[in-house]
Every structure is written in structure tokens, then in C-alpha cells.
Amino acid sequence: MASCLEREINAFLWLSLISVTSYLLGKLAKIFELWRKARPIPGPPCPSFYGHGGLISTSSLTDILYAMHKKYGGVVKLWLGPAQLLVSIEDMDLIREVLLKAEDKLPLTGRAFRLAFGKSSLFISSFDKVEHKRNSLELKLGGALLERAHLIPEQIWGCVIENAQSARANGAVDSKEISLHLAYTILATTIFGDVFLAWPKATVYEELLMNISKDACFWASYSITPFWKRDFWRYQDSCAKLKCLTEELIKECRQKCKSGFLWESDGHDNTEYEPCGEIISLMFHGSLTMAALIANILTRLVTHVDIQDKIYSEIVMVQKVGRSPDEQNYDMTPNLLAVVYESARLLPAGPLLQRCSLQHDLKLKDGTVIPAGAIIVVPVQLVQMDSSNWGSDALKFNPCRFLSSTDGRCIPDQKETSTGHTSSVLKDPNEFKAFLPFGSGTRACIGQKLAVLGISSLFAALLERYEVRLQPGSEINPKPKMNNCILQLLPSPQIVFVKRSA
């Protein structure tokens, strides 16, 4: 009896050993296959078995890619680990192809948002699973929400700016701080309507969202959820509070709004995903993206007073024909939109566009084969400041590149016609293949129209009533510096909003 039991245990142990060995050999075979496929891609030699992790830890990835592309060309590889390949594409002929073919996202991105906000289809790795939801949301963002966004700046410019200035003895506000608050309020009011403006918990909601956003990627970076850490449970508690507040706000909006727009099921949406998770994800990502652009524009306006004056003159011309600059008359305010586009070109929300192909190798037209599962990045900050794409003044702030008049001056002279139009005509930014602040292809930002037109409406309302100036006596120079063709902003300037005379 004992010998029989012993044989069974030995058989079980042998089967377990064979299974584990087979699994590990399979993993090892995949690593060797990845190495074989990646070998033809140019890039620096690995200093160790663990790849270029040490190099990346001592410098910013954008700086490293700048040097690598200078040395190895438009396509380079870096090893982040023995089984983690990063491929950077700077060649404009290949970028559009890659952004069209590489439809998936990194799993870490989705995990960061799922852990913090609940299940959301907006950040699913596989494009096939998220395509319908993205198309549906894009229609909403470009339709009813966009129309609502045009009415928001009139309501928020006074309360947000004046409250921020009154909280400071000298009336000056931090550019980044006010930008984040403006972006958050614009997006929240666009989604939730007037109910949000009257909601007594709006300030608490904003603080929770911003605090969680700082820690989301840190906790998601753990391979195993760190249940043993107290800080993680505090973080989870904050997430739970944010979800409760979001559900409360959704319920209140549905009771008071008759449109029935707010994330109600259309009969086709996947009920696996939480409505509050979708909304918080949109609020999180949208607020940070819009805040970065607003802060950049504010910095440009205080350092280019002549441009600010030109835009104000443009707004006055629009008023002369009996229209509000907040309306959809963007053909009549080309200089304002040109400033928005140029600000987004010089300092995009993120320095890299990230993509991957989870299931299939990518075969590019130049013969390059990118293995499945590799991280693909486009160093958009380098691409948008490359003189071969933008000319000799690529490093300079020149909104004229987005206008029909390109005589080298900062903003073309305005000539008022009988209809109140200016002599400048805005170019379609899609004419510029290297203009990628909102991405491109199947995973392009679905809220780019809302962001651009919403921010334009905000600044039209803002500049109509205020001049934006540096705080008198400020020692901070807000003009950006260049480092290896990479724009680096100095500390956020202190700015003052001065009311214009009637």
C-alpha cells in the first residue's frame, strides 16, 4: 500500500516537473524568437542581459531617443529587459503606417486605470474590443458635448479666475494650477452640464481625482497587486470615494437633465464596463491633456504680448458683425486657433505616442519587421520640432505656419473687410503630416476636436475681458529653453488677469 502511494506521488511530481519545464522552455523559445526577429532592427548593443534599463534610468527617454536616432536612423530599438523590446519610429514615411497598423495599447495603461477607476473600455489593450465604444464616444464628443462646450467659458471665466486671484494677496496665480482647474471645470461642465456648477461637492471631487491621478501608474506598475501595503489601501479608499461621488453626480444629472445623454445604454454598449469607470477615465485623461495645453498657451501669451493684442483685435472684429466669439465662428478667429495649434506642436501633452501589436508582427513598407508585443513609440516631441518637417524656424513659436499668410512675421497684419473677416485664413492642421499632438490613426485621441474648440472658446471669452500678464516684479523667466531640440519649460510663471476697460 505504501509503495503504491509512493509511486503515485512520484508520478505526480514527475508530471509537475515536466509541465513546469515545458512551460519554461516555451517561454525561453519565445524569448529567442523575439531576439531573432529584433536582430535586424538597428540600435545600440546591449550592455547586459537586462538591456538598456541602466541607460534609461540616468536620462530621459526622449533625450536617449534623440541621440539614438541621430546615430542609427529613423528606426531604432532599445531593450528594456530580456523579453521587453522598445522600437522608436522617427521616419515620417513610416510613422503614419505604424499608427494605422499598430492598433493596440500597452496592457499596463489599461491596468492603471482599471485599478483606480473600475472597468473602462476606453483603455483596453486590444483595439478590436474597444472599437465600437470609441466610435460611439467620438460621435458624442463631436456632437452634443461639443455644442455644450461652446457655452461653458461664459460661465466659468469669472468664477474660476476671480476666485483664484482673490485667494492670493497679490492677485497672482500659478499658470499650471489655474490651467488644471480650468481644464477640469470645462470638461466636468461639458459632461455633467449646469448640474455640476451647482454641485456642492465639486471641489472635493476635483481634489480626489487629481490626487488619485498622481498615484495611478505607480500602483499599477506592481506585477502583483500590493495588498500588504497600507498606502495602497489608502489609495483604494480614495478610489472608492471617487466612484461613490461619480455615481451620485450621475444620478443627480439623470434626474435633472431631460436629454438622457449621460452614458445611458444605447442597447449596444457592453454592460461589462462601468459607466462611472468610463466617465472618470475620460475626466482624468482629458483634464491632464487640456491643462497642459492651456498652461502652454498662457505662457505663450504672457511672453508674446503682440500676439495677445492681435487676438483681442480679432475678437473685437467678430463683435462688430454682431456675433459672439464663443460661437462657432472659427473662420473669423484664425489667429486664435493658430496659437492653439502652434502651442500644441511645440509642447504636446506627452512626449511619446505609444502603440503595440499584441497578436501579429508588423511588416513595414521599408522591410522592417517589428515583433508582436514590442512597445512601439513615436517621439512626437522630436518629430514636431524637426527642421526637415517644419523648416528652419521649427524651434521657434510661429503661429503663422498655420495661416495662409506666411511672410515671416509673428501674426500677419489684420485687414478688416466689410464682413468683419481678417486677411488671414487658417490652414487645415491635417495638411502637416508631422502634426501629431493628438496622435493619428485608429487610436488617435477621440476628444481632440472638443479639446481644441473648447480651449479656443475659453480663450476667446478670457481675452475679451482680460489681459494676461506676468506678475509685476516676477523673477521667473517663462520663456522655454532648448535641450537637444527638446523644449523644456521653466517653473510655472505667476500670472495676473487684468480686466480690460469697458
Angle at 239 between CA 237 and CA 242, to 5 degrees: 115
Mean local confidence (pLDDT), 208-226 = 78
User: 384: closest CA among 372, 375, 396?
Assistant: 396
**Per-residue model confidence (pLDDT) at position 338:** 92
Backbone phi and psi for residue 400, each to the nearest 5 degrees, phi listed first: -60, -25
Span 239-288, pLDDT tens digits: 888 888 888 888 888 777 654 445 444 444 444 556 677 788 788 888 88
Evaluate if residue 433 carries a pLDDT over 50: yes
Residue 407 has pLDDT above 50, yes or no: no
Mean pLDDT (the chain) is: 78
pLDDT in tens, 161-194: 766 766 666 677 888 888 888 888 888 888 887 7
Which own/partner contact pairs does 238-242 have at CB distance under 8 Å and 24+ positions apart?
A: 238/208, 238/211, 238/212, 239/115, 239/116, 239/117, 239/212, 241/208, 242/117, 242/205, 242/208, 242/209, 242/212, 242/280
What are the two backbone dihedrals, phi and then psi, of residue 378, each rounded to the nearest 5 degrees? -115, 115
Rounded distance between C-alpha atoms, residue 457 and residue 154, angstroms: 9
Q: Examine the pLDDT at 57 and tell me if it is beyond 80.
A: no
Query: In 143-274, where does DSSP find H-type helix?
Result: 144-149, 153-166, 175-192, 194-197, 202-220, 230-256
Higher pLDDT, 350 or 229: 229
The pLDDT assigned to 283 comes to 83
**What φ, ψ does residue 169 adopt, rounded to 5°?**
-65, -35
Q: Which DSSP letter does residue 332 get?
A: G
Q: Which residues contact 214 (CB under 8 A, 6 or more apart)?
A: none
Provide the whole-model pTM: 0.83
403 grid coordinates: 495661416
Annotated binding residue 445: yes
Q: CA–CA separation, 216 vs 117, rounded Å? A: 9
Residues 6+ apart with CB under 8 A from 263: 250, 275, 278, 279
Residues contacting 425, CB < 8 A, separation 6+: 331, 334, 403, 404, 405
Terminal Cα-to-Cα distance of the chain (whole angstroms): 102
